[in-house]
Structure formats: structure tokens, C-alpha cells
Chains A and B, each alone.
Chain A
Amino acid sequence: MSSPRFDEAAADDAPLHADAIHARLPADRLLGREIVVLDETGSTNDEIARAANAAAPEGLVVFAERQRAGRGRQGRRWESRAGVGLWFSLLLRPPGQMSGWAGLSLWAALGVAEAAETATGVVAEIKWPNDVLVAGRKVAGILIETHAGKAQDGAFAVVGIGINVGHRPDDFSSELRDRAGSLAQFSQRPVNRLALASTVLMRLDANYRLWQSAPTEIVAACSRRCSLRGRRVRSLLPGGPEGVATGFDAAGQLLLRDDAGQLHTLASGELQTL
């Protein structure tokens, strides 16, 4: 595919172009075989779900410069202004049953953390199961939604990723300012959105193959980046345990040791760091 050359030093808010991302990806990729960049949409997850229901193949990626209704878990609003971040979603049709897809959370967080380090030089941690932190602040959020789909195409997963790239502290609302951050805030060099977009797709693609062949390697790589290890956390589920996070089990579930010494395995729910 022919594509124009894009200068590395281009202004960070230069618009993304699908051709420019394509040109940087390896030919044998699965994820990012088809890339669409929209100026604006409601939510990139909804775009992918619509395409998937119309039989779109695995690996489709939709970026949007701006989302009118970007969302996180449980319908929480996700700020996604034009030019300051990467807002995109991927279509996956993983093998096996939906009940085995929970590991996608760690896979997605790992790809973003690795790409953030490669492209910007920051040190990225993973807050179980899928927040990416730099210097203790959340720089990326992930929303994965699975759908049973139509019989002929089968079930699919929509992986929505939002990465804060160029935000300044006062770009975040006052209640988020202490917890949220952007890569540019912590990087010693200018952050190029095009380079970051292609790097994150490459890492996700390579790790997707690894997740299918050796899922425990993804868990192990995430475990090394676990921001909660040794920290005291509380599960916000009704009657949920409180204790010190000791790491992950082989399935990537969080292990907590309570004050009585009992080990708890967390499979879901919100966590509060104490």
C-alpha cells in the first residue's frame, strides 16, 4: 500500500491517517489488517460491534479522533477530546468459549504498557486487571465487551482502549487530576501519536498470538508490572476481602492475603487501594 511519509517530529496533534499506520505494521499481522480512522463517532466500541454483527473479520481496528460518548465500565464517561489521545477499538474473534476470555484484560493492558515504554520511555505499571499507570497515575483505560453474536459468525470481543497522550494536568477535571495523567507529562521526549499507535498495535498483535499459545506468559509479564504487589487493597464487592496483594494466579486472578493469613482469589469487581 502506498502511503505518504509522515515526519516523526510532526506536531503531536497532527491528525492520524490509516495509511500511515498501515505503513509501519508488519505484513503478516492479524490485528490491524484493516484500519479505519474516523474524525468523530459516538463510541469506537459501538462502531466495532456494529461491524462485527455485519460479519467484519477479526483484526479490524477503528480509531476516532473524538468520541461523543466514550465510556468506561458501567457506563462511566471517558473524556476523549481530539488530538490529545488515542481512542480506538479492536475486533477479536478468539478461539474457545467466552468464559475463557477474561485473560484479554491482562493481554490488552500489557500491550499498552509495553508500547508506552517503547514509544515514550516512561515506566508503565499495570493495576490489576487492566489499568495502565505511569508514576501511579492512570494513563490508559480499557473496556472489553463480549457479544454472543449471530450464529454464523459466532461470539466476538470488542477491545476498547483509550490512551492519554498529550494532556496537561489542567486538561483533567479536578476530581481526576490526582489520579489521571498523560504520557507527555512523564516522557522526556515529544510523544508522537502515530508512532505510539503503530507500536501499540504491533505489541497487541504479537501478544495475541502468545496469549493463544501460552497464556501464562502474558500473566507472568503482567505480574512483573503489577502495581498492587505488597499494597493493601480492599475488594469493593459486598463482603469482599481486604488484605495485601501478593500477585496473580495462573489465570491472572489477583491473590490477596488477609490479616488472618487466608489467601483470597479475586476474579472480578472494583478494588480500593488503601
Chain B
Amino acid sequence: MVWRAVLFVLIPNHPRRTHLELKEIKIIIDLMKRNDLALFQLEREGFKIKLQRGSLAAPGAASGPLTVQVGGAALPAAALAAGDGAASASSSPAASSSAPAPVAASETEAYREINSPMVGTFYQSPSPEAGPFVKVGQEVTEDSVVCIIEAMKVMNEIKAETKGVIAEIVAENGKPVQFGQVLFKVK
């Protein structure tokens, strides 16, 4: 369900370089805008950057993985696996905010995650008076509705898309969530 486009950019650099110049970040943002990409992630030893933007209007927006190589070979896909959290940047404080620190690899193996397919506000229940769609310890199947995410007043019913028991409700009721943010952990 989640559309995700990942842009690989080879930054001309020193292998040990641990930062990007503002100018370089701007170039990446421009590339993302021009190619309608929602997520950019780059990871090096001791360095990590993630740029993410909400793209909401176009129904036919990029729906499959897209690889763009600039100036050389693409980074290996393994570089995109979650590591322990280093610096995380965002394209602008307004359009998106920093992604939550990724969990350690050993922990991700034990849980599956339900991620937000969009930018919006997370709601655990259909109305403030109603009970939550799911509670910790509750069994879910692929078709179980687990929450609503509101984006521009469109109330989107989100399904678990996985089977198991809710281990943790990570997102907070009534608070904004970003594209790809972990909402629930399922075991």
C-alpha cells in the first residue's frame, strides 16, 4: 500500500565525511521536488540523513521504487537498512519533522511495524467518546482497522496489513505523524 520512492545520490565526498553542506541538501530537495519523491535517506558510518516531504494532492503520484543515480554508482541498498539513530534532518521544519530514532536491529527482528502511509494526524478511535480500534495485547489480522489518519480532513482507515498481537502503540492519539513513521509494533 505504501508508495515509497527512494533516491540514491552519490555525493562527491571523502569516505569519512560526516556532514552535508546546506547547499548539497538544497540540491537533494530540488531533485526530490522535481521527481516527486517523498523520501530520501542516506547512511554512512557515523552519518545519516533522512529527508521526507508530504505529497498529498496528486492521485497518480510516483507509486513504485525509483532509483536516480547522480554522478556515479548507486549506494548499496543495504545502506538503507535501519541502524542506530544518528543525525536526522528534515527538508523544512514545516513540511516534515525529524523521523523518530530508529530502533536497534535486534529489536526490529522481534516485531513487525505498522507504518503511517501518509502525513496526517493519528487517531486511535473513531470519535473521542468511542473506544480505541485496538489495544495492546489484542490480536489483529491483515484486515483489522487499527487507526484513522486524518489528512486535510480526509479520514483514512488504516489496516494492520499484518497478522499478530499489538505489542506497542507507538504513535500518540491526536498528534501529527509523518510518512513512514511507526504507528504500532506487532509481534
Contacts and interface: CB of A to CB of B under 8 A. Distances in A.
A226 B61 CA distance: 25
B41 interface: no
Given A101-B154, A269-B150, A148 B59 contact: no
**Interface residue SS majority, chain A:** mixed
B22 interface: no
A103 B59 CA distance: 8
A195 interface: no
A269 B117 contact: no
Contact of A265 (B95, B145, B175): B95
Interface in A110-159: 129-130, 142-148, 157
Interface residues of A, number: 48
Interface in A58-108: 73-76, 94-106
Contacts, number: 151
Contacts of A130: 152-153
Contacts of A262: 93-94
Contacts of A105: 152-154
B61 A96 contact: yes
Contacts of A146: 154-157
A252 B152 contact: yes
A96 B56 contact: no
Contacts of B126: 74-75
A263 B91 CA distance: 12
A99 B91 CA distance: 19
Given A75-B129, A268-B121, A99 B154 contact: no
A142 to B, nearest CB: 7
Contact of B54 (A73, A145, A267): A267
Given A102-B118, A143-B155, A265-B94, A250 B59 contact: no
A238 interface: yes
Contacts of A238: 174-175
B128 to A, nearest CB: 6
Interface in B116-166: 117-121, 123, 126-130, 143, 145, 150-159
A263 B154 CA distance: 23
Contacts of A97: 1-3, 61, 63, 117
Interface stretch (A8-16, A19-27, A209-217): A209-217
A102 B57 contact: yes
A33 interface: no
B85 interface: no
B94 A211 contact: no
Interface string A222-238: 00000000000000011
A182 interface: no
A252 B93 contact: no
B15 interface: no
A218 B59 CA distance: 12
A264 interface: yes
Contacts of A103: 56-59, 152
A95 B58 CA distance: 10
B179 interface: yes
Contacts of B143: 148
Given A75-B127, A267-B120, A99 B56 contact: yes
A43 interface: no
Contacts of A180: none
Interface of A: 73-76, 94-106, 129-130, 142-148, 157, 211-212, 215-216, 218-219, 237-238, 241, 250-253, 255, 262-265, 267-269
